[in-house]
Amino acid sequence: MLILRFTGEGEIFYTQTRIGKNGRNFGLLKFATMLKNSPAIGTGDITIKNDPRVLPLGHFLRKTKINEIPQLINILVGDMSIVGPRPQTPKNFKYFTPKEKEVILLMRPGLTGIGSIVFRDEETYTSQANDPIAFYDEVIQPYKGELELWYYENKSLRVDASLVFLTAWVILFPKSQLVYRMFRSLPVKDMNEAVKNFNDGKLIK
């Protein structure tokens, strides 16, 4: 916190509006890792690899997920749980299907979850797409919706405990595919192939 205070823009925390259980908005807390007005710059809510909006210390905080620690406060006040759907911004939430929205709103958002684990390396894929924003909206977001439906249909204490373990695992081994071996019924999408198909079928805007 001291390093953040005396580096970058001097901000320690960043608060962003997210959609919680039953559609109630709340302020998601994070350690500040990007420029204050980053949502209005470049790719907006979408972060790409080596994003110039990320502050020097921000790269380390984001890679290790230390930037998510303030969300323990969100958990303590009842906005979030440890495991659940990743809380979405109002802008990104609108891209879910009606069924996905209905199911997601039944659950308290989580500090971690299946979407966070599968897309541990999300920035790599958005960086390879010739239109990162469109790729997120048309490819990543629909897959995240499928994953959240899977979680709702399979959630249990065992699944939640496994997801907590996998969260730590993918921080250490971000390229690991262990999640698919542990959960055989999980929807699968080859993201490298998805990037290739997207780039072959869409011109750069």
Q: What is the DSSP string of 117-139?
A: HHTTTHHHHHHHSSSHHHHIIII
Closest C-alpha to 189, from 128, 145, 123: 145
Supply the pLDDT for residue 81.
97
d(CA 182, CA 73): 30
Render pLDDT for 108-149 as a digit per residue (tens, 0 to 9).
Answer: 999 999 999 999 888 888 888 888 888 988 999 999 999 999
Supply the pLDDT for residue 204.
43
Render pLDDT for 51-105 as a digit per residue (tens, 0 to 9).
Answer: 788 888 888 898 888 999 999 999 999 999 999 999 999 988 988 999 999 999 9
Average pLDDT, the chain: 90
Q: Is residue 31 within 8 Å of 3, Cβ to Cβ?
A: no
Q: pTM for this structure?
A: 0.86
Closest C-alpha to 133, from 66, 39, 69, 197: 39
Share of the chain above pLDDT 90, in %: 58
Which whole number is the average pLDDT over 154-167?
A: 96
Supply the pLDDT for residue 40.
65
d(CA 116, CA 144): 9
